[in-house]
Amino acid sequence: MKTPPLLYEKTQRLLEQIQKRVDGTFLCYWMSSGGSVCDNDVMAMQEVLREIGPQRHLTLFVKSDGGSGMAALRLVHLLRRHAKRLTVMAPLNCASAATMLALGADTIAMGPLSFLTAVDTSLEHDLSPVDHTNNLVSVSNDEVDRVIRLWKDAGGRATNVNPYQELYRYLHPLVIGALDRASSLSLMLCREILGYHMRDRRKAARIAERLNSSYPAHQYPITSREARSLGLRIEDIEPETDRLLQELNLVYSEMGQRAITDFDEENHHDNEITNILERRSHQVFYQVEKDWHYRKEERRWVSMNDVSSWFHCRRAGGRTRKTRLHIR
């Protein structure tokens, strides 16, 4: 079986160099394209923070394409319980729910390749439409709103046909209801997270509203220039620190490569490290390990023999030891 490499020694050397260049205790929260911000990450972060106790200042390196907004709120709450001041360093993509996480920091440090994104709601519901591979399609609240608006702008009222009647032919009413509820939740989460350090409620509400409804694409890159115009406190990452963070990202990317073992056209084994949390002398990561089988009659891949788990790595007895961490 092919397995991804464990590069604990390399990452620890880079962490030591970066720690000397930043304020407070340096932490890492990195995700591959296969990972996402989730509730289990909160327990993993607690494991990373447990031994160091309360800190004056935490600096958190974040690289993620997003995930659960509610998990982002829980992470902010946890980090704020451990430190009076929080800085998020986002040298690369810090998207969607990761942007929500960054909103909870007193300062967001950004470099030439950094970007945040909008946090408008998209949802993969049990009643969502399916694509050509029979997998559920993620539906965006903004897309539904735009369909209704385009219908009205194109003279849909003159036909005396309610646009929702046509929309319901392709999208279940409960999906639309769930999208509306999720949109309200997204606004509430942003305001709550900003409230951890921003006393001006009107300003917090304005930032939350803009991030939820002012951008025409969910993945629109909000660079440091745009982030400052939103009212966020943005700092520039020093060039040498940015170089070290980029190097650390490359090492994590090597750890996070997919290790696929093919058996035949319909079966393969997948082994991949998706989420990595780390500080000096302690690394926690989630490793996906399962078989995949293609069901021809259903036209989709299904997983089997799933033994995915959290692990932590430490240096003990002159060697790197990997042990299972039980988080459910």
- Residue 1 in tokens: 């079986």
CA 79 from centroid of its chain's CA atoms:
16
Q: What is the pLDDT of residues 71-125, one digit of tens each?
A: 999 999 999 999 999 999 999 999 999 999 999 999 999 999 999 999 876 656 6
If one compares 146 and 282, the residue with the highest pLDDT of the two is: 282
Q: What is the pLDDT of residues 228-277, one digit of tens each?
A: 999 999 999 999 999 999 999 999 999 999 999 999 999 999 999 999 99
For the segment 188-194, the average pLDDT, to the nearest whole number, is 94
Cα angle value 243/24/9 (rounded, 5°): 55
Q: What whole-number percentage of the chain has pLDDT above 70?
A: 95
Compute φ and ψ for 135, nearest 5 degrees: -100, 150
Q: If DSSP codes are grouped into helix, strand and coil, which group holds residue 4?
A: coil
CATH 3.90.226, applies to 8-118+215-325? yes
Which residues of the chain are in CATH 3.90.226 domains? 8-118+215-325
**pTM confidence score:** 0.86
